[in-house]
Structure 1
Amino acid sequence: MEYYVYFCGLIYFYRYSCIQKILFHWKVRKSQNLEHLYTKIFGYYFLISKLEQFFRKFAIRLTRRIKILLNCRNTPNTMAKLKNIIKQLSTNDYEAIYNSLVESNAEKSALLLKYMREKQLSDSKIMEDLDVNTNAYYTLRSRLNQKIEEYLLNQMESPRTELLKKVANITEIIFTKKQAIAIATLKKLERELLDYDLSNELTIVYKNLKKLHINSADYFHYSQLYNRHIAYMLAVDKAEDMLAEYFKKFGFFALSGDETDKLGLILLNNEMTNVANLYQSHRLKVYQSCMSVFHRLYVEEDKPTDNLEPIEDILEEVSHTFDSYKADSIYYHLKLVFEYLKLEYYNHYKVYKKAEKFYEDVNESSAILLSNYNLFTYPAQFLSTKLERTLRMNLQGQLYEENEALFENFEYDDDNIALYINYVVYRAICCYYADKYSEAAKWLNDLLNDLSLKRYPYATIEIKSILALQYCLMKEMDLFNQLINSIQRQIRILGKEDCSHIISFLKIMKIATSEAKKEKAEKIRNVADKISDVDRRLFSPTKYIKIDDKLVKLLCGD
């Protein structure tokens, strides 16, 4: 704002100067040609108005720009992310970074790293301890962030990274080495790249081998290899794109239950099968398995007449592939996806003993699975599987505290609507089982306020029904009645036949809030028995509300 005031001052000073000049002309020329005088006055005022417009716009833009820069610089989110990164460093990585900072005489950076890692201090307190001003502090923080990034990047060095460096150095080899040596080097590089299945880099090798053999009979051979790998590279890219698109669409299908969305998933699954069949490629087979296993569990369940490869055999084959290509970084990370798929497979067919073998590993990595693996699977389903397991084992009371540790640094993507909804509803249900009804209501209210769920009416009434239960337990009857009326209006639009379980769920709460006290508990149990047999959509969190004796007593006010 100071800049705006400053420029306005300049404008008014200039205006005052112009007025002085006009008065001077008036005095000098008052006996002369008035037309000339009026022209002069008009010219000065025209110039003043133009300059005033220019300076005002410039001042406003400059002020806005400065505010934006200051806001970006002081955003707490950036600070929080740096703290999260530092806290997630392993002990060895932390000590290595700290020692390197000390050795390079960056003592204040080392102290900043230590404070963020070991102490819960505010920015102002850290600045005070480091004896730096605001500008120096943010510069220090920026440098520390850069140091950490450089260290982590260096830790990624691997045989695969060395290969990529060699590929980047191909041009240098061609121009500085004899042709025979260059060809021998490229052929060796070809074999190494084939071991890692690096199709993109292989195209570069074949392109150069083709050029080096332009005067020999092998030119055609390498031209064919080049063309084949270009096509294969495009097939792999397409498979990866289809995989990501499939799980994005699955999220929509899970929320809506729409048959059109289901048809889209079936078509994508068929197309992935066709692409995978084009090549004898273990990578395409792995990508196809990511999709087909999930598809057969949650979209089109296997029928006795289907002549399909058993899912267990697919999972076993993928495990062998991973064992054969241990240095492949993509496969290294996809191991978690297939651990998750094994868990889902055994849980789906109620082979709980085998499912338990995979549960702990997946659960420990659940935050990473939810945030980083949405391109290769649908991790939100794990939250439902986890709720089913805890209800089956009567461990739902432990979820709230466990979440505090598991999701301490979890950052969900607001744009991934399916994941966002599933995560928030999961957290709300966990709060409910911890008897924190107010907190559960806050999670759900924030969700309904943050997102427009018009596209997912069935999901909306599911969420609102759980929220209504929280209001009922909190004795917030005005809010409860408003919400119940809203849900009932939506049910009338959607049709009662598709919402029978919600109608029963609402009926339980109406019985609980009715003035009649006679046989409330018995009536609630009778209605609850009817809910369990109802077929539901994939996203149906009300089924995780266990209508047991504890809830019945709470509803009846006992």
Structure 2
Amino acid sequence: MAKLKNIIRQLSEKDFNAVYNSLIDSNAEKSAYLLKSMREKSLPDSKIMEELEVNTNAYYTLRSRLNQKIEEYLLQQMENPRTDILKKVANINEIIFTKKRAIAIATLKKLEKELLDYDLSNELTIVYKSLKKLQVHSPDYFNYSQLYNRHVAYMLAVDKAEDLVADYFKKYGHYTLTQGPTDLLELSLINKEVNSTCSLYDSHRLYVYKSCINIWHRLFVEPDENVSEEELEPVEDMLLKVDKILDEYHLDSIYYHLRVVFEYLKLEYYNHYHVFRKAEKYFEEVNENIPTLMSNYSLFTFPSHFLNTKLERALRLGNEQELYEENDAIFAIYEPDMQDIPKLLNYIAYRALSCYYAGKYSEAARWINNLLNEVSLKKYPMAQLEIKVLLALQYCLMNDFDLFNQLINSIQRQIRILGKDNVEPILSFTKALKIAISETKRQKEQKIRAVLDKYRLFEKPDNIFSPTMQIRIDDEFIIKLSH
């Protein structure tokens, strides 16, 4: 909320009136009132909700729509010379055929400078190709031939870097579900390859792409503790350098959209090292953008990990029961990609856990059952086991003996196939569930407590899909299972 208030208060009078009038014209009176209240009053959210006569869910939706409306307006007002440059590039042939040679060369050289400022390698190759043709009888022909060849190579390096970033996060998603040594090796090789590719050129764009992988890799795959400090650029320095690049090239459309990725990386960085006070600075912005981040940014990061971060934050702050109501507003227009299994599993597990913490066990079970009916998880047996155990917990709390017994038999078969030593946390958790649903009442609570005391000893790594580890194991949970 603080971010939205700051944006509104920083709007010029002209911009504020334009946004306000557009809201009034489109019959969005409540949004207009919210805009005016945030600019002119210092009312708490509860008071604004009371005056608007809306609940928390509707208020959150209203706020998000207002934020989107303001962003759309500001984007429309933004002067973008980059678009003009691209139009000029599209008209190069017109210049060559209609202008005198000297004028054409001068125009192309000016265009070259502008393209260099924006690091538009694809368009630069067109300019150098044209300059090379115009200088075919001049000593400068060789120079422009070299520049053309160099920028073709650079263009290919940028394309390769983009592909490597996308491949890395696709592979990372699989790694979270398999923990396979082959996937881990591939992640390390991609990380090294992107570093090697980016070292060929002194390019801010390649540095930004490299940072997407490097920072994530050091947080969740190969922690800094495993490498000597002299070999690594500090993560905070990398984030600071990227911020400067994004600020300097603020009209670059890719950089404009990548800003939220690096806000997300800052959040995960500070959260990883338990510097929660600093992490909070970035939480709200990422949270507001999570549907877009989940839908459109998988090529540059692993956005669904934020859902784990968000749930862990809620458990730490003790407001996990509020997630359920908030989800309806946040994910109102989000459509999960059924082919992106790692992201889908994180999303469904998060929605199911949100239902669980709100006491809506049947709805949690419905989320999981829909997943199991629509998607095959045979390639990811460990993840499938986790999801099934989470479902078994819901059946246990619903006292649905038939469905629980049917499911627990399937779980036990899978445990035998995978090997008990490989799934010790799951084994302990299912043992507690079996005690909970059994008809015996003698010392049930003590037995469950003894099993879960052992379960608590297992630690949840950041890079493993394990929703069962996100169940709060406390006295309330034990009592709930015992009755």
Q: Which TM-score bucket, shorter chain as reference?
A: 0.7 to 0.9
Structure 2 residue 265 is the aligned partner of structure 1 residue 351: no
Structure 2 residue 117 is the aligned partner of structure 1 residue 191: no
Q: Per the alignment, do residues 275 and 357 of structure 1 end up closer, same or farther by CA in structure 2, a change over 3 Å counting?
A: same
Alignment of 1:507-526 (within 5 A): 507-526=431-450
2:184 to 259, 262, 269: 262
Q: Per the alignment, do residues 373 and 95 of structure 1 end up closer, same or farther by CA in structure 2, a change over 3 Å counting?
A: farther
Q: Per-residue CA shift, 1:500-543, capped at 9, x if unaligned?
A: 10011111111111222122222222222222222456101101
Q: Per the alignment, do residues 402 and 514 of structure 1 end up closer, same or farther by CA in structure 2, a change over 3 Å counting?
A: same
Structure 2 residue 416 is the aligned partner of structure 1 residue 475: no
1:541 to 450, 467, 478: 467
Aligned to 1:281: 203
Structure 2 residue 293 is the aligned partner of structure 1 residue 382: no
Q: Per the alignment, do residues 447 and 157 of structure 1 end up closer, same or farther by CA in structure 2, a change over 3 Å counting?
A: farther
What amino acid sits opposite 1:214 in the alignment? V
Q: What CA distance in whole angstroms lies between the structure 2 residues aligned with 1:196 and 1:93?
A: 30
Structure 2, unmatched stretches of 5+, are: 1-15, 32-72
2:376 to 452, 460, 464: 452
Structure 2 residue 176 is the aligned partner of structure 1 residue 292: no
Aligned to 2:126: 204
Q: Per the alignment, do residues 301 and 152 of structure 1 end up closer, same or farther by CA in structure 2, a change over 3 Å counting?
A: closer
Aligned to 1:141: none
Q: What CA distance in whole angstroms lies between the structure 1 residues aligned with 2:317 and 2:206?
A: 38
Aligned to 1:553: 479
Q: What CA distance in whole angstroms lies between the structure 1 residues aligned with 2:356 and 2:459?
A: 24
Q: What CA distance in whole angstroms lies between the structure 2 residues aligned with 1:438 and 1:385?
A: 25
Q: Secondary structure at the match of 2:404?
A: helix
What amino acid sits opposite 2:479 in the alignment? K
What amino acid sits opposite 1:189 in the alignment? L
Q: Per-residue CA shift, 1:443-473, capped at 9, x if unaligned?
A: 0001011111011000011000010000011
Q: Per the alignment, do residues 304 and 412 of structure 1 end up closer, same or farther by CA in structure 2, a change over 3 Å counting?
A: closer
CA shift, 1:303, in A, is 2.3
Q: What CA distance in whole angstroms lies between the structure 2 residues aligned with 1:98 and 1:550?
A: 50
2:331 to 376, 394, 407: 407
Q: What CA distance in whole angstroms lies between the structure 2 residues aligned with 1:453 and 1:152?
A: 44
Q: What CA distance in whole angstroms lies between the structure 2 residues aligned with 1:193 and 1:418?
A: 39
Q: Per the alignment, do residues 375 and 93 of structure 1 end up closer, same or farther by CA in structure 2, a change over 3 Å counting?
A: farther
Structure 2 residue 392 is the aligned partner of structure 1 residue 392: no
Q: Per the alignment, do residues 375 and 305 of structure 1 end up closer, same or farther by CA in structure 2, a change over 3 Å counting?
A: closer
Whether the aligned pair in 1 keeps the contact of 2:456 and 2:473 (CA below 8 Å) is: no
What amino acid sits opposite 1:520 in the alignment? K
What amino acid sits opposite 2:482 in the alignment? C
Aligned to 1:315: 239
Structure 2 residue 258 is the aligned partner of structure 1 residue 334: yes
Q: What CA distance in whole angstroms lies between the structure 2 residues aligned with 1:305 and 1:475?
A: 50
Aligned to 1:527: 451
Q: Per-residue CA shift, 1:298-353, capped at 9, x if unaligned?
A: 11111264221111111111111111111111111111001101111111111111
Q: What CA distance in whole angstroms lies between the structure 2 residues aligned with 1:320 and 1:440?
A: 44
Aligned to 2:95: 173
Q: Per the alignment, do residues 169 and 411 of structure 1 end up closer, same or farther by CA in structure 2, a change over 3 Å counting?
A: same
Return the index of the structure with the highest Cα Rg. Answer: 1
Q: What CA distance in whole angstroms lies between the structure 1 residues aligned with 2:183 and 2:325?
A: 36
Q: Secondary structure at the match of 1:303?
A: helix
CA shift, 1:426, in A, is 0.5
CA shift, 1:493, in A, is 0.7
Aligned to 1:303: 225
Q: What CA distance in whole angstroms lies between the structure 1 residues aligned with 2:17 and 2:308?
A: 33
Q: Secondary structure at the match of 1:273?
A: helix
Q: Which runs of 4+ in 1 moved over 6 A?
A: 90-99, 151-157
When structure 1 is superposed on structure 2, of 513-522 and 424-433 the one drifting more is 513-522
Q: Secondary structure at the match of 2:224?
A: coil
Structure 2 residue 88 is the aligned partner of structure 1 residue 162: no
Q: Per-residue CA shift, 1:271-304, capped at 9, x if unaligned?
A: 0010000101111011000001101111111126
Q: Secondary structure at the match of 1:388?
A: helix
Q: Per the alignment, do residues 304 and 422 of structure 1 end up closer, same or farther by CA in structure 2, a change over 3 Å counting?
A: closer
Q: What CA distance in whole angstroms lies between the structure 1 residues aligned with 2:372 and 2:17?
A: 40
Whether the aligned pair in 1 keeps the contact of 2:448 and 2:482 (CA below 8 Å) is: no
CA shift, 1:549, in A, is 2.6
Q: Secondary structure at the match of 2:197?
A: helix
What amino acid sits opposite 1:441 in the alignment? A
Alignment of 1:44-59 (within 5 A): none
Q: Per the alignment, do residues 157 and 354 of structure 1 end up closer, same or farther by CA in structure 2, a change over 3 Å counting?
A: closer
CA shift, 1:92, in A, is 6.8
Q: Secondary structure at the match of 1:533?
A: coil
Structure 2 residue 174 is the aligned partner of structure 1 residue 252: yes
What amino acid sits opposite 2:467 in the alignment? P
Whether the aligned pair in 1 keeps the contact of 2:173 and 2:343 (CA below 8 Å) is: yes
Aligned to 1:143: none
Taking every aligned residue pair, what percent have the same amino acid on both sides? 61
Q: What CA distance in whole angstroms lies between the structure 2 residues aligned with 1:96 and 1:486?
A: 58
Q: Secondary structure at the match of 1:413?
A: coil
Q: What CA distance in whole angstroms lies between the structure 2 residues aligned with 1:532 and 1:310?
A: 33
Q: What CA distance in whole angstroms lies between the structure 1 residues aligned with 2:403 and 2:20?
A: 50
What amino acid sits opposite 2:293 in the alignment? L
Q: What CA distance in whole angstroms lies between the structure 1 residues aligned with 2:369 and 2:127?
A: 56
Q: Per the alignment, do residues 95 and 368 of structure 1 end up closer, same or farther by CA in structure 2, a change over 3 Å counting?
A: farther
When structure 1 is superposed on structure 2, of 450-459 and 298-307 the one drifting more is 298-307
Structure 2 residue 423 is the aligned partner of structure 1 residue 463: no
Q: Secondary structure at the match of 1:539?
A: coil
Q: What CA distance in whole angstroms lies between the structure 1 residues aligned with 2:331 and 2:18?
A: 23
Whether the aligned pair in 1 keeps the contact of 2:399 and 2:437 (CA below 8 Å) is: no
Alignment of 1:55-204 (within 5 A): 158-204=80-126
Structure 1, unmatched stretches of 5+, are: 1-89, 100-109, 118-150
CA shift, 1:393, in A, is 1.1
- What TM-score comes out, normalization by structure 2 length? 0.83
Aligned to 1:225: 147
What amino acid sits opposite 1:437 in the alignment? Y
* Root mean square deviation of aligned Cα: 2.4
Whether the aligned pair in 1 keeps the contact of 2:385 and 2:414 (CA below 8 Å) is: yes
Q: What CA distance in whole angstroms lies between the structure 2 residues aligned with 1:532 and 1:222?
A: 66
CA shift, 1:155, in A, is 7.8
Whether the aligned pair in 1 keeps the contact of 2:338 and 2:344 (CA below 8 Å) is: yes
2:350 to 426, 429, 438: 426
Q: Per the alignment, do residues 154 and 318 of structure 1 end up closer, same or farther by CA in structure 2, a change over 3 Å counting?
A: closer
CA shift, 1:476, in A, is 0.8
What amino acid sits opposite 1:313 in the alignment? D
